[in-house]
Chains A and B, each alone.
Chain A
Amino acid sequence: MTGPPIVRRPKRRLSAAFLLILPSIIFMLLLFAWPMVSGVLQAVRSPDGFSMTYINRMLADPGFWAAVRNTLLLIVVLLPLQFMLALAMALLLQARPKGQGVYFYLWAVPLGVSDLAAGLVWLSIFADRGYLNSVMDALGIGPVSWLSYENYGSMFLAVVIAELWRATSLVMVIVVSGMQGIPKDYDEAANVFGATYLQRLRHVWLPLLKPSLQVALILRTILAFQTFAVAQALTGQDFQVLVGETYRWYTALQNPNVASALALVVMAVSMLAAVVYLRLLREDTGSGKR
């Protein structure tokens, strides 16, 4: 979004503007830039100067590659599912069913639930003596150790389901707000020309929703790299994720240097993902609108 055009004024006005944004610059430097710089330094500086000790230590840790694999796998499986679900929910709401307000609030509830609380709720379902096993036991199917390290598949599935429940509403809220910004004329015009629902979805709604979908995609990808509490609550250390490893190195192993190196990896990958998405977004709007 661009604001009204900025009119260049003599120097005194400029310095007043500068003074006005100065607090926020100081704020950002103190609370964002400085911790980031010191975090980076912590990862690459040992008592004898700059060194790769901590980064090598991180790479040598067997937990690191497992965490990378799990985190990426989670993103690859989770995001498409989440977007399909969110889109379906938004389209359902758009059809204005009876009590749509109630649906919207119900679907948005997970937004207000903390990660850890969501993890604990799902833990009570998937635990060995949890609700799911009680139901299965009553049906005579016998209990399954869903969260056992031996059943990687079911453990992964449990994390995916819990994350799906917890974080889809964020995508849905963004998509719904995007839909509200689309004028009805396009849909009506397509309708007049006899387009079917699927055709309208494919050629009218999705292209117009692209900006909000992309915002949601960037947000969700960055947040997905930070998945932690749900996996921690459900599986402890058995399903390792990058931020979980950072936490483990910082608290349990008391090594802030390796923890910083891990945090650096998370930051680098998130930034990379954001840059890639932004480039794609720019190219798209370029070809679509001009």
Chain B
Amino acid sequence: MPESFYTKRISRRQALQIGAGVTAAPFLMGSLSGCSGASTSGGGAGAFSFLSTQFTPVEEKQRFEKILGSQVKDVKVSYNSMAVGDFTTQVTSQVKAGKVSIGMVGGLHGDLAPLAESLEDLDSLAGQMTGSGIGDSLWKLAKLGGSTTKYIPWMQATYVVAVHKSALEWLPSGADVKKLTYEQYLDWAIAAKKAAGKPVFGFPAGPKGLYHRFFQGFLLPSFTGGQISTFSSPDAVQAWTYMQHLWANMNPASTNYDNLQEPLARGEILVGWDHVARLVDAPKAKPDDWLMVPAPSGPKGLGYLLVVAGYGVPKGADVAKASTVIKALSKPATQIEVLRQNAFFPVVKATMPTDLPAAVRLEANAVAGQQSAPNALLALPPVGLGAKDGEVSQVFKDCFKQICKEGKAPTVVLGQQAKILQAILDEVKVPCWAPDPVTTGKTCKVG
């Protein structure tokens, strides 16, 4: 999960401490109990192995293991999470060698897409799960561009808009805060800036902010209907011109915001779009003062970026056993538990229990509203780019920098950046991803 809010790096000191601990452990254990080391990955030999790219930070992993232990009774699952690169190599090499020791795999859509050839068709399992409430758009994604279901949707996250109720008084007349258009969003920002005497809309444009996802998954799809195939189209020029106006009415300190929950909670800004995990602390102190609403919609619909994870079964693994685990993990209660513990939203239909943190409940409504909007237009983070993901994101960040911060003409900047973007795509040779038309085997063309 490249964007995990919880991702932490180990400092050198911690590494040394761990190193010292590891060195000392055998001696300690030997002297205490005479025991000769134990597996820490849980399950031990013979356990059903669930290999995943998710929940790599150790706290998240432990919380998820607890959920597995309590919710999946029939099969003893050992959960292992690793970086995407290792994950891909492990699965493909095992399937190629015909010796599959992995029971099932889990990862983001973009992690699973390159594995399509190595995954079993799960159509019959999908058929058994029709009543679970997983949306059609997710099932369509789960086919990975082919005709059969390659993975079962597991959990999801997205981006929504957090609103402090005090900003509602400046809302343009006739606008519904839950069904905003981009024009209304801009008018609102202008009116709020005028009335409050300072800009109160924020944007996560800090060095570690996820603002590029706004362009990739929200602004551009909403204005152009695409992400890459319409990158420098007249519609895109219109979108970036809009962004220039919007940015001019946002708090300029936004270039220091890595997440919006902190400036929102401090009261520095009142309205802002960000990842759900990076907004969840904003309403913590006074949940009644806050709203979470879907992103605005543009001429081509309500573009929204969906971070969706799924589980698949490698070819040659025990599908029946995997199905038991998948079904148990797809129960509403299990998925609510994942939301509560690890901040990923359910994909199945689940009623939110009242004891959920208020902020999570607010977000859950916004997520559901965004997804079920009649004009919703699903976009994905880049699929199959691997290490080049950062460079593609940088293209969008550079567009923002030049167009919005330096005031250059969108046509010129988009023309230059389109060439860079095409060069990267040619290098990795990946097909387009939603909302652009996906043609398997054909390198994505920048439009």
Mark interface residues in A59-71 (1 if CB within 8 Å of B CB, else 0): 0111100000000
Closest CB of chain A to B296's CB: distance in Å? 26
Within 8 A of A (CB), among B263-286: none
A252–B391 Cα gap in the complex (Å)?
8
The reply to whether A237 and B253 contact each other, CB–CB distance below 8 Å, is no
Q: Judge whether A236 and B206 touch: CB under 8 Å.
A: yes
Interface check B423, CB cutoff 8 A: yes
A134 interface contact, C-beta 8 A = no
Which residues of A lie under 8 Å from residue B255 when comparing CB positions?
Answer: 148-149, 236, 238
Which residues in window 241-260 of B have CB below 8 A to A? 252-253, 255-256
Q: Is the CB of A237 within 8 A of B402?
A: no
Within 8 A of A (CB), among B383-428: 387-388, 390-391, 394, 398, 401-402, 405, 416, 419-420, 423
Q: By the criterion CB–CB under 8 Å, are B207 and A236 in contact?
A: yes
Total of A-B residue pairs, C-beta within 8 Å:
40
A148 touches B394 (CB 8 A): no
Determine whether the beta carbon of B402 is less than 8 Å from that of A62. Answer: yes
List, in ascending order, chain B residues with CB within 8 A of A150's CB.
252
Q: Which of A57, A63, A149, A254 interacts with B390 by CB under 8 Å?
A: A254
Chain A: residues with Cβ within 8 Å of the partner, total of 17
Min CB distance A64 to B, Å, is: 11
Determine if A145 is an interface residue (Cβ-Cβ < 8 Å). yes
A253 interface contact, C-beta 8 A: yes
**Which residues from A are CB-within-8-Å of B402?**
62
B235 to chain A, nearest CB (A): 23
Do residues A255 and B391 form an inter-chain contact, with CB atoms below 8 A?
yes
State whether B253 touches A62 (Cβ < 8 A): no
What is the total number of residues of chain B having a CB less than 8 Å from a CB of chain A?
Answer: 19
Q: Is the CB of B253 within 8 A of A128?
A: yes
Residues of B participating in the A interface, judged by any CB pair closer than 8 Å: 206-207, 252-253, 255-256, 387-388, 390-391, 394, 398, 401-402, 405, 416, 419-420, 423
- In the complex, what distance in Å separates the CA atom of A237 from the CA atom of B208? 10
Interface residues of A (CB under 8 A from B): 57, 60-63, 128, 145, 148-150, 236-238, 252-255
Partner of B394, one of A145, A238, A253: A253
Residues of B contacting A57 in the complex (Cβ-Cβ under 8 angstroms): 420, 423
A6 to B420, CA, bound (A): 58
Please, how many angstroms separate the alpha-carbon atoms of A238 and B255 in the complex? 9
B264 to chain A, nearest CB (A): 16
Q: Which of these, B206, B390, B401, contacts A252 with CB under 8 Å?
A: B390
Find A253's partner among B207, B391, B419 (CB 8 Å cutoff). B391
Considering the chains assembled together, what is the distance between the CA atoms of A149 and B256 in angstroms? 10
A residues in contact with B420, CB < 8 Å = 57, 60-61
Shortest C-beta distance, A67 to chain B (Å), equals: 13
**A175–B390 CA distance with the chains assembled, in angstroms:** 46
Distance in angstroms between the alpha carbons of A77 and B365 in the assembled complex: 55
- Are B253 and A145 interface neighbours, CB within 8 A? yes
Apart from A61-B420, A148-B253, A236-B206, what are 13 other A-B pairs with CB-CB below 8 Å? A62-B402, A148-B255, A149-B255, A150-B252, A236-B255, A236-B256, A253-B391, A253-B394, A254-B387, A254-B391, A255-B387, A255-B390, A255-B391
Chain A residue contacts of B401, Cβ below 8 A = 62
